[in-house]
């Protein structure tokens, strides 16, 4: 009567009990690991939600003179480019590429709409009227945003956009050196990706589609 519990069980039963105990311990470990992962993900998503409220905010006007802010585009996918209307080649190429990427995605049924945005880095010359004339050559839904120098500078800083006007020529014309990136914002307003000059419209469309397919909204 002084033996260890289970000592009188046949070997196969003892092995079965050991396997059950090991299985239960392993299941508990897997549950604890999954629970820890869920808690970590919940904390991360809460951090992202807080970040989304202030990340990249702006107070500008569109080409119709209507005030626009980042909150106006909540719930929408956005492709955003910073540039200027007097840009001789790079900005037209990038806006053309952005417009084509939007067109490619519009051909696919079932995808959410994508809003193209263009924010000037040259408010001195790019008022609402100039933006309206310039954007006629691109996607019909492309919105151009401008404002005071302070408002434009704040919008660029929010996305860490570099912009610096060069020297003026004898006609008073000048070039603005600036960051050349197309930004992707998700429906929560979070920055999700960016695309440099080496990316084609097809590359951008594939990447945006992939983000749309894997998107999970942040909790309220």
* Residue ranges at the known binding site for Cu cation: 87, 91, 178
Q: Where are the alpha helices (DSSP H) in the chain?
A: 11-54, 90-106, 128-135, 149-158, 201-214
- In the annotated binding site, the residues are 87, 91, 178
User: Do 85 and 142 touch, CB atoms closer than 8 A?
Assistant: no
The whole-angstrom separation of Cα 219 and Cα 212 is 17
Report the chain's terminal Cα–Cα distance, integer Å.
62
What CA–CA distance (Å, rounded) separates 138 from 99?
A: 6
**CA nearest 190: which of 60, 106, 78, 113?**
78
Length of the chain equals 220
Q: How far apart are CA 146 and CA 84, in angstroms?
A: 10
Kindly list the distances between the CA atom of residue 156 and the CA atoms of 102, 138, 176, in Å, as whole numbers in the listed order.
23, 22, 13
């Amino acid at each position: 009567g002084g033996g260890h519990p289970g000592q009188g069980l046949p070997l196969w039963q003892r092995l079965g009990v050991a396997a059950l105990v090991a299985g239960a311990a392993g299941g508990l470990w897997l549950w604890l690991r999954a629970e820890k992962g869920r808690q970590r993900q919940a904390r991360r998503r809460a951090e992202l939600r807080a970040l989304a409220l202030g990340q990249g905010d702006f107070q500008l006007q569109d080409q119709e003179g209507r005030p626009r802010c980042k909150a106006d585009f909540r719930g929408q996918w956005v492709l955003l480019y910073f540039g200027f209307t007097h840009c001789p080649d790079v900005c037209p190429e990038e806006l053309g590429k952005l417009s084509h990427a939007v067109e490619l995605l519009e051909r696919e049924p079932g995808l959410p709409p994508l809003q193209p945005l263009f924010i000037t880095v040259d408010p001195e010359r790019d008022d609402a009227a100039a933006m309206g004339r310039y954007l006629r050559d691109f996607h019909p839904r492309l919105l151009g945003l401008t404002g005071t120098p302070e408002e434009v500078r704040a919008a660029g800083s929010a996305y860490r956009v570099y912009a610096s006007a060069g020297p003026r020529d004898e006609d008073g014309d000048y070039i603005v050196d600036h960051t050349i990136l197309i930004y992707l914002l998700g429906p929560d307003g979070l920055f999700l990706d960016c695309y440099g000059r080496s990316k084609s419209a097809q590359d951008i469309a594939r990447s945006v589609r992939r983000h749309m397919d894997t998107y999970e909204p942040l909790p309220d």
